[in-house]
With several copies, the nearest count.
Chain A
């Protein structure tokens, strides 16, 4: 039997459905010692902003049961440096790249989108709208339908060409389906589910929040059930909207859960910290599992857990 592992993520054709998660694969360079970057479906870059950013003060992380908190605060050298250095290097490796962009204002998203035209190796844009909106009391863009829509519209209007746009949503909302619907209307070709959950750890020695910024984003296997639920709900309500699923994936079994729930492709984030080769492990285990379960293609398995149960 032939088996097709090819993925189509909102129009981006990828040899397999395994992507890195934004902010969890550095610039790519750091991982390239552990596997050739073109072995995975695509590299998702850390979220790029208009200007250089120092990020937040340390401590920036805390380990939690089956997870971790982080508050990096989008440290990065800004879009100019990124386009000059990271993009050409990734293209040289033959890597397919999803550029993650993040803004503090709607205008930032517009500016960044214009810079994303005609980049070598870039197969799509992940729009991280799970970050604070400085024009709206720091409220996270994707926690409000209006600001979520505004950010995506700004990208859609400015991107030009037919580069797929994936809107990355925060799970910290009452109704994630309504946000997904909103960004789809605004022109997103797909959604990335989920970003981290807002959490806090208190250091019982200092008796203060462990992270300098008090709260941070919770990731890792701990949040997997929340992520699978989000993917299942959105796929159920919007079956034609492509989903990039993530949140606690560290094995092929975990990835399979997301595919069955309705994801067209998946990202591996925190697992890479524990295992630099996690992306490859997940890829190999997922393809074995799909073949074992009798699927002749990845496509056939997407959303399979939604089928009618007829016993």
Chain B
């Protein structure tokens, strides 16, 4: 057997609770022992639309939290934005419905062996995987600062219990309805300097990740980001979810964001490669 998807299982997961929080749905699934396998940054892939669905592809969602036991056994929690027909179907489900889920998938955030000063940056529902990460980092003795941004207040997902592990939380919104008015990247330099940040972890829209990479490069700090490319399979068999990444050998390769990601080194990703293959890419 190979090491790809080594922990992934296809299960029937029962929806335990489904609550609207701002613009999102916080959804909790009972998944049994599979919850033990999930690490911050991993994602799940869910079949949508029911038995006679016209949607043939799964939908990917970052794991917000994994709870290993409780009255329902292991739980996986997701934060879902009702966006198109698949996510709307999902957020419309009533508790006790079961969904077909493949999890956990993809790479996870790397945890430093030594305590470091980390800044976690989340855009929109991109905050989801950061809370579990914050907890983990905190438990390893890291200082964790967090900044979350969105277009408007209702699109910032920052539940109380999630914030426990965070030393500071900064919010930004495009319309100023919560926190500082402006883009998330505008506050990064100050936060990096004030908190003497050594590593950035991020998750959010691709444009935001690209912008963060600019900043992290400028400060010469490591930037691990969870990317979000359209995925047809989520398990590495279709090659639709690729993006160009410079390897340690200096060669640019089209890597699959579902198995070589979603967590990648921001500095190695060639951003702005939409609709073109970067020059010098292997096989171009």
Q: Which residues of A contact B (CB under 8 A)?
A: 23-26, 29-34, 46, 51-61, 63, 65-68, 70, 72, 75-78, 89, 93, 212, 220-221, 250, 270-277, 309
Contacts and interface: CB of A to CB of B under 8 A. Distances in A.
A59 B237 contact: no
Contact of B242 (A33, A58, A220, A276): A58
Interface string B201-238: 00000000000000000000000000001101111111
Of residues A63, A67, A89, A309, which shows the largest number of chain B Cβ atoms within 10 Å of its Cβ?
A63
Contact of B284 (A54, A58, A72, A273): A54
A212 B275 contact: yes
Contact of B57 (A30, A89, A274): A274
Contact of A63 (B47, B57, B229, B276): B57
Nearest to B57: A63
B93 interface: no
Ranked 3 nearest A-B pairs via Cβ: A29-B2, A52-B283, A30-B236
A33 B1 contact: yes
13 contacts: A26-B237, A31-B237, A32-B4, A33-B1, A52-B283, A54-B283, A54-B284, A60-B240, A66-B56, A212-B275, A273-B234, A274-B57, A276-B233
Contacts of B6: 33
A68 B282 contact: no
Contact of B100 (A23, A34, A59, A275): A275
Contacts of B239: 23, 26, 46, 55, 60, 72, 75
Interface residues of B, number: 40
B10 interface: yes
Contacts of B229: 58
B54 interface: yes
B81 interface: no
Given A58-B274, A220-B56, A75 B254 contact: yes
B9 to A, nearest CB: 8
B276 A212 contact: yes
Given A55-B254, A57-B275, A57-B277, A63 B283 contact: no
A23 B233 CA distance: 12
Interface in B39-88: 47, 54-58
B10 A276 contact: yes
Nearest to A30: B236
A154 B242 CA distance: 33
Contacts of B113: none
B41 to A, nearest CB: 19
A89 B2 contact: yes
B243 interface: yes
B239 to A, nearest CB: 5
Nearest to A34: B10
A171 B54 CA distance: 22
A270 B240 contact: no
Contact of B282 (A54, A58, A65, A220): A54
Contacts of A309: 275
B2 A272 contact: no
B8 interface: yes
Contact of A55 (B5, B54, B236, B242): B242
Contacts of B58: 273-274
Given A33-B6, A89-B2, A51 B232 contact: no
Given A52-B283, A58-B242, A250-B56, 6 more contacts: A31-B237, A33-B2, A60-B230, A63-B55, A68-B56, A93-B1
Contacts of B242: 55, 58, 60, 75
Of residues A51, A53, A75, A277, which shows the largest number of chain B Cβ atoms within 10 Å of its Cβ?
A75
A77 B283 contact: yes
Given A33-B4, A54-B282, A276-B235, A59 B10 contact: no
B237 A30 contact: yes
A63 B57 CA distance: 7
A59 B230 contact: yes
B207 to A, nearest CB: 13
B102 interface: yes
A274 B276 contact: no
Interface string B176-188: 0000000000000
Contacts of A276: 8, 10, 102, 233, 235
Contacts of A59: 230, 274-275
Nearest to B58: A274
B229 to A, nearest CB: 7
B47 to A, nearest CB: 6
A32 B235 CA distance: 11
Interface in B261-284: 273-277, 281-284
B14 to A, nearest CB: 19
Contacts of B47: 274-275
B151 to A, nearest CB: 16
Nearest to A213: B275
Contacts of A55: 239, 242, 254, 277, 283
A30 B259 CA distance: 9
Contact of A273 (B1, B5, B237, B283): B237
B230 A61 contact: yes
B29 to A, nearest CB: 18
A76 B102 CA distance: 26
